[in-house]
């Protein structure tokens, strides 16, 4: 049974049986199977998600192909006006978007608002497409009287498959750049919390994007595979776990598509003895337990250097134990539930495994409950005395669980980062410019923080990643995205 919400009527319209948005219209899916989408804090179903078959994907591709020729010929300055309109609509519905995320994904309302802000920033950057898409010309570039120039042109239809943890932001890493450069788009949001995408597409429609330029298809694995296999989709953007990212990259690339795939992470926060702990610990707590640890930039391991382990453990555990757990729409809550019952079971099992392998459970969140909310809660958890070969030290937990390490010096800490198969992010806390410079130069991670626990690039910078945290060549956001969604054409001219 679907529980009514307290949101505005136009937002409430998307709670219930979700529809696809294809060719500028809301359409019933041809799906024969559906998934229930619960509020992670209450466990109550708020929507039903169609498992759209390949026929729905084909309909979206046909709509996008039909819109592409006219859209690609639309001047970039005219395309940009739709993004300015969308930006204004997103600002008007800022609180609605945030509340939907808090209800459907489970994160706190402040974090949800922060995610909406990041999504808007990507729309704003894409609105600058007349400048971002400019090529370059060199007079007499080839020889006297012969000019040479580079043009950037769109390819056609692209698609994006996004994860549950940032249900509006990650799609906005991709589609604004794809569409601004003259391509058409098919969004496949996570089946675990897709409602905010439905609301966003209401705003996209109101912003005046022509029918077929931006499309939405709900679903799960079959839907994604239809996207990866479709011959008329030129490229795919993806974020998810490393095993799935590898599979997506391999399958899409085998069909000749451009692919950018963000994978999992195991991000280390390295703490030197000269770190200012009173400022560093709150920053680390935010990194480790924000979004209940379910983000690819979350600090998942804290490495203490030079005998600072005991004081760091005491301060960190005390701060973590003080976090208020609860329903995200409560403004005083600092950490919400994890996304699902299955996720909770997996996280608890990994904590059990860590304890059985010799780790000390310094703070135990396995039995956490919130009165009045029977959802999927796991409290802040700290595992101490962790060795690098333990399962919890090697595998991505993707929950509110932090492992504590000791290292003899900076070389050992950098070696820990570099030996990890993941390379999404790494951070150092120090007052030493020399140590910070050495760390950022030597560490093998795509996003590096200096006294910052969440090294999240702004929208005009690429969201980097290395090793098993990224598969592809060009990253989301910024100029990398412009290059990914266009092909360059060199024109050499001589007038006789």
HEC readout, 359-386: CEEEECCCCCCECCECCCCCCCEEEECC
For strands 470-472 and 381-384, give the pairing.
unpaired
Across 170-308, the runs of DSSP E, i.e. the strands, are 184-188, 214-216, 233-239, 258-262, 267-271, 299-305
Q: Which residues pair with 429 in a beta bridge?
A: 271
For strands 157-161 and 34-38, give the pairing.
unpaired
Q: Which residues pair with 161 in a beta bridge?
A: 188, 238
Cα–Cα distance measured from residue 454 to residue 463, given in angstroms and rounded to the nearest whole number: 12
Output 112-121 pairs: Cβ under 8 A, ≥24 positions apart.
Answer: 112/328, 115/166, 115/167, 115/168, 115/169, 116/90, 116/168, 116/169, 118/166, 118/169, 118/172, 118/456, 118/459, 119/90, 119/168, 119/169, 119/171, 119/172, 120/87, 120/90, 120/91, 120/94, 121/458, 121/459
Under a CB-based contact definition with an 8 Å cutoff, are residues 251 and 229 in contact?
A: yes
State the catalytic residue, choosing from 184, 261, 288, 296: 296
For strands 45-50 and 16-17, give the pairing.
parallel
Contacts of residue 199, defined as CB under 8 A and 6 or more positions apart, other chains included, come to 11, 14, 93, 96, 97, 100
| DSSP secondary structure, 49-106, as one string | EE---HHHHHHHHHHHHHHHHHHHTS-HHHHHHHHHHHHHHHHHTHHHHHHHHHHHT-
Dig out the tokens for 461 from the structure: 């910078």
Contacts of residue 170, defined as CB under 8 A and 6 or more positions apart, other chains included, come to 160, 162, 163, 239
296 is a catalytic site residue = yes
CA neighbor of 105 nearest in space, from 270, 310, 338: 338
Residues annotated as catalytic are 296
């Amino acid at each position: 049974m679907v529980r009514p919400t307290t949101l505005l009527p136009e937002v409430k319209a998307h709670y219930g049986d979700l529809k696809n948005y294809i060719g500028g219209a809301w359409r019933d899916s041809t799906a024969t199977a559906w998934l229930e989408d619960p509020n992670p804090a209450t466990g109550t179903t708020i929507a039903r998600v169609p498992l759209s078959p390949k026929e729905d994907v084909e309909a979206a591709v046909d709509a996008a192909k039909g819109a592409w020729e006219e859209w690609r010929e639309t001047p970039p300055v005219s395309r940009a006006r739709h993004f300015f309109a969308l930006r204004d609509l997103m600002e008007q519905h800022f609180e609605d978007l945030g509340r939907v995320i808090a209800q459907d994904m489970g994160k706190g309302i402040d974090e949800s608002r922060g995610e909406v802000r990041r999504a808007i920033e990507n729309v704003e950057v894409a609105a600058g497409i007349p400048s971002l898409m400019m090529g370059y010309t060199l007079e007499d570039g080839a020889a006297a009287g012969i000019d040479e120039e580079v043009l950037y042109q769109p390819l056609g239809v692209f698609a994006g498959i996004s994860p549950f943890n940032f249900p509006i932001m990650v799609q906005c890493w991709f589609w604004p750049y794809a569409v601004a450069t003259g391509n058409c788009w098919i969004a496949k949001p996570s089946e675990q919390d897709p409602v905010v995408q439905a609301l966003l597409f209401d705003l996209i429609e109101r912003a005046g994007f022509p029918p077929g330029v931006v499309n939405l298809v709900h679903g799960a694995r079959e839907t994604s595979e239809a996207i990866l296999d479709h011959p008329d989709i030129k490229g795919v953007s993806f974020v998810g776990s490393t095993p799935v990212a590898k599979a997506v990259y391999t399958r899409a690339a085998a069909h000749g598509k451009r692919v950018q795939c963000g994978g999992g992470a195991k991000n280390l926060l390295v703490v030197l003895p000269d770190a200012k702990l009173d400022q560093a610990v709150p920053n680390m707590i935010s990194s480790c337990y924000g979004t209940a640890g379910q983000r690819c930039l979350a600090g998942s391991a804290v490495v203490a250097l030079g005998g600072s382990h005991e004081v760091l453990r005491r301060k960190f555990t005390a701060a973590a134990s003080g976090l208020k757990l609860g329903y995200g729409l409560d403004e005083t809550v600092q950490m919400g539930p994890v996304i699902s019952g299955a996720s909770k079971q997996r996280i608890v099992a990994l904590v059990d495994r860590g304890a059985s392998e010799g780790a000390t459970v310094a703070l135990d969140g396995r039995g956490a409950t919130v009165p009045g909310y029977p959802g999927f809660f796991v409290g802040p958890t700290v595992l101490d005395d962790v060795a690098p070969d333990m399962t919890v030290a090697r595998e991505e937990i993707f929950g509110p669980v932090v492992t504590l390490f000791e290292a003899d010096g900076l070389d050992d800490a950098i070696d820990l980062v570099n030996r990890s198969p993941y390379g999404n992010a790494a951070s150092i806390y120090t007052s030493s410019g020399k140590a910070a410079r050495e760390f950022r130069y030597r560490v093998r991670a795509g996003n590096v923080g200096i006294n910052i626990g969440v090294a999240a690039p702004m929208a005009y910078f690429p969201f980097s990643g290395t090793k098993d945290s990224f598969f592809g060549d060009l990253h989301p956001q910024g100029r990398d995205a412009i290059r990914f969604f266009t092909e360059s054409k060199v024109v050499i001219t001589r007038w006789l």
